[in-house]
Every structure is written in structure tokens, then in C-alpha cells.
A and B are shown apart, each in its own frame.
Chain A
Amino acid sequence: MPAPLIRCEGLAKRYEVGGGGVHALRDLTVSVMPGEFVAVMGPSGSGKSTFMNLVGCLDSPSAGRYWLAGEAVDAMSRDQLAAVRNRRIGFVFQQFNLLPRTSALDNVELPLLYAGVPRQQRRERALRRLGQVGLAERVDHHPPQLSGGQQQRVAIARALVNDPALILADEPTGALDSRTSIEVMALLQALNREGITILVVTHEPEVAAFASRIILFRDGRLVRDTAHRAQDATTALAALDRQTDTAPVTGSGTLAGGARSTRGI
């Protein structure tokens, strides 16, 4: 049996608020194997975001142990954590978090910049990833010139550019319309088939349906962990197109369509 990519033992996070502490996450023990596609669900305040932040090495646990690809992350220094985030994890955020007034290409190059990759190589790798997400024609566009779906694809290219083992997507479809959401999920599924482990935080069952495993949080505890037969996003997209063809007026049928958001950083 292969070693798990993510292994948490007794992981807990406690915030000190006012008079006492609030347990955002209690005594979590869970493992994720390489190549899994996991949806993390739960109502707001359930601890799912805290879990993602800990897994993403953006926050440090109050107690418990966490290994990422066999490395004990809980004992690492800030700089070591930065290196782990840089090399092993790609982040996709609800609000895209692209740098404004910066071209798509430069946005995608950002992780390589911090990895110390030479300029020429940075460019080549970023261009390749932008091509992979279908934005080869728009590498010089700035975020406000792109649709929401395109911005999210730039963000996915950025998450991919350093060849991470794990992609953490925090409500990646939260700012997108339903069709663009499915497109993004199809992209994530394609990456998953290439062997990248994917964790998606979502509160939408429609999005979770594309995952092969669903973890449910409530009140800071993991309450349910179920395997799931994943729905294929490409098929769902085709089905949606057939609906659109029969329905006379919808107006959001183009690939570039989707919610436009100019919100940057």
C-alpha cells in the first residue's frame, strides 16, 4: 500500500477569542492517498476552512501532527513552510487572488519566481500551463480583461506551474455561474486523472458530486467520510449543452462566458 500524501493525527486548532478559546478543529485524524479527488463539505463554521488552511500550511495547528508527503509539517519553520507551499501545493481561491495590473503570464510565473527558476524557464513553463488551461491566446491580458472563468483558469495555471502533488481549491466555483463552474471542475478532474491529488472545499452538493470522496465537517469535527462515485464533468457539460440547445434563450453558451469579476487583490 502506498504512503498517504496527507496524514493528520489528532490535529486541532483553537483560537483565543475574548474570554475563552474556540475550537475550530478538534482531534482530527484523516489520511488522503495520492491521486484522490476529495470534496470537503460542511456548513460555515464547521471547521472545513480551518482544515484546508492547515493542510495548505497557511496556518499552524495548536495540537496534533501533520505529514505532507511523509514530511512532518507541524514542526517546520516559517521559511520551510513557504518552501513546502511553493513546491508541493497549488492554491485555487474563490476570489481568484490574481495580482491586478499584472498580465496572466506574470501571474502564472509568480510561484516560479519564488522557487528561483531562471527567467527563460519561468516563461516557458508558464506559457505551457496557460496553454493547458486553454488561455494560450490571452497570456498578455490583465485580470480585469478576463472573464471570471478565465481568471479562475489563470489561477489554476498558477497552481499547476510548479508541478505540485496537491491542489487545494477553496470554493473555486463560488464566484462563477453554473456552466463555468462545471468547466472548472472538468479541468480539475482532468488534472486529477494526470495523478494530481485534489481537495476542493465547497458547500454546493453539485460541485461535490464531481469528487470521488466526500468529507463532511460539523462543529469542528469530521462527522462523515464517504467514498463516492464521481460524476464526470465533461459529460455534465455535454448534457448542459443539449439543454441549452433546446431552450431558446439563455445567452451564456460561449466558452468564454461566465461571471465576470473584476475583484482582484
Chain B
Amino acid sequence: MSDQEGKDMKGRPRGLLSSWRFLVALLVAVVVYAYGWRETEINIHTLITGAPDIVHIVTQIVQPDLLARDKEYQAAYAEFQLPCAATPPSQPARSESEPYLVLSHTCGSTGEPLSVEGFNFRPNTRGTLRWTPPVGTQRSLQHIDSDENGHFVLAVSVPAVEESEQVQEIEAELRWNVGIPYPSETLRVVLDKMVETVFLALMATTFAIFIAVPLSFLGARNLMGGHRGTVILYFAVRGFFNIVRSIEPLIWAIIFAVWVSIGPFAGVLALGMHSIAALGKLYSEQVESIDPGPIEAIRATGANALQTVIYAVVPQIVPPYLAFTIYRWDINVRMSTVIGMVGGGGIGFLLIQWVNLLRYKQAGVAVWAITVVVWVMDYVSGVVREKIV
């Protein structure tokens, strides 16, 4: 809006709000955003009411399954008959040193209260009371906490299991950790896959460099402007870069997972493909922005075309090429963590599996590993780029 239009007949400036163009724009904006709100099903209410649902996921993710310890067990058994028959099972034998259970009665019916008392167990230890019917599956009845004398009393009710002439088994098992913590199986698997992930990014970036560098010269207007043929080649290369670059690595991963079957090789190809185009475009723009002065000077010495490229072009493009390459490798490490979700190998495959199995403690390990690796790569590439550019 010019100054003229912003003033009324008396020459006083009018407020922004009284301009009809502004009001129309405002109205259009309101309609667009209202429609967008509806279309994307934005619902602030669920954002608040749904929050408790993620608490247990988050608490498990922040307590990842990093370390494990060896466990020792102690168990004692008792027999119970459901329903009562002519001769109910006898109470377990009492011992001076071994743990044993004492039941309030050894036969009865479903739902009846039953008291289970334990003696000579390991003091101050946790465990579980389980019920094993002769037919069907075992079930856990209650947690056990032994006191300082290794004694506990539990009040349970006879569970609704199938009645049988055979005896039902009651088991009290206590567990405790021994020895020093060591890396969990999860951590070992994650580290193994993380190495695969980092190498996946390395291989993809390296392959991309070898193809993108020669292509970048063909995609530089200042080098390819000479003849009709070279101009056609220039447009072909640029078109290839733009099309390939506009297809996300995840889509490439799906294509290559079918092509070379699921695994890290598919991931290397997917990231490599995208990187060729992305690097190629950045490289060729760098070639286009070099200083023509040195080229002129080197040509004037009687140098041939190869010498001109090596002495006048290469020294100008090596540092920016390195910077772009490190940046790309950085992106590829980040991308390789998710490419596994669609079959491209690396840590993403584990992560999506654990999430689908609701094993969030394991998923947490993968999430933390990704965070650490990406952070370290970010930092390292930042330092390296600063050094060379």
C-alpha cells in the first residue's frame, strides 16, 4: 500500500484496520485457518485429557533397559485340592533351614479365603505367589515381601480355575539381584545396530560423492554453456537432480527394499540415491559461483582444459564440497535412524518393532542411542566444518 492510499481526503493517515484490502485479507485468512483447523481435526481437549495415557510410555522410555544383573531364585511349594475330596493333600514338610509354606487349609472351593504363610525365606526380599492348576495356565496371585525373619503371611482367595481331582500347586518364589550390573541384551543389540546405522550413512554418503562430483560439473551452467549438446546435457542433469531430490529417502527405501530385499543395503541405496541429487545440486551451484578470474589467468598461461580445471576450478571448490559432504553425512546419520522403519536396515527397524510390541523400555534404549549419536555427529561435523571453511 502506498502512502497515497493510506490517507483519506483530508490527508490524515488512515489506520491499517480501516483499509478494505486489509479487512478482505483478514477475512480470507480467518476462513482458511478455520477450515484448516477442522480439516486437520485439531482438538485441544484431547491434548489435555490424553496426556495421562502417555505417562507410562514416557516413564519407560526415560528408564531404558540399559543394564541387567544376574538373579537368584528361592521357591517353596504347597498342594491344594479343588474341590475337597476324601483325602485332602497334606501340608508341606517343615524344615529347619529350607523355606516352606503352610496353608490355612489344603482343600476348598473357588472364592474361599485362603491364608498362605511362608517360613525360612530370604529376609526382606520380593517375590510372587503363583497358582498352577493341573489344567490351564499358571496365574500370579499376589506380590510377596518377606520380613526381616524371612517370614510372610498372605491372605488370598482361591482363584476361579478348573476343578480337578488332581492337586493344584501353589508356588512362592522370591527373586533378588546378585553381582554387578552389566550391559543388557537390549543395549548390546542396539549398539550393534547403531554401528550398522553409522556405517549405512557412511557408505551412502561415499557412494553419493563418487557419482555427484562428476555429475556436478555437468550440472554447472558456467561450464556447460558452450554448445547446444552440452546445454541439453546440463538440463538433463539438473532435471535428474530435481526429480530424484524431490522423492524422500523413505520412499526410495520402500522401492529398494523390494528391489534388493529388506536390509541395510536397501538403506544404503535409498540414502545414496537421495544424496546424489542433493549433493549434486549443491555442488553444481558451487561450481557456478566460482571466481572466473583464476580460470582466465590459467588459460592465459597456455594450460589445457584438464590443467585449467585442476589448477583454477578444483582449489576453489574443494573446501565448500567438503563442507556440504559433512553436512550431508550428518543428515544421512539422522535419516538412517528412521529408514529402518520401512525396511532399510539400521536401528529404525528395531525401534519400530519394539514400539509395535509395546516394549517401551527397549524402545527407550534405541531412542537414547539415536539421540546420543545424532548429537555427537552434529557436534563433530560442526567442528570440522568450522575448521575447513
Q: Tell whether A pairs with B.
A: no
Interface residues of B (CB under 8 A from A): none
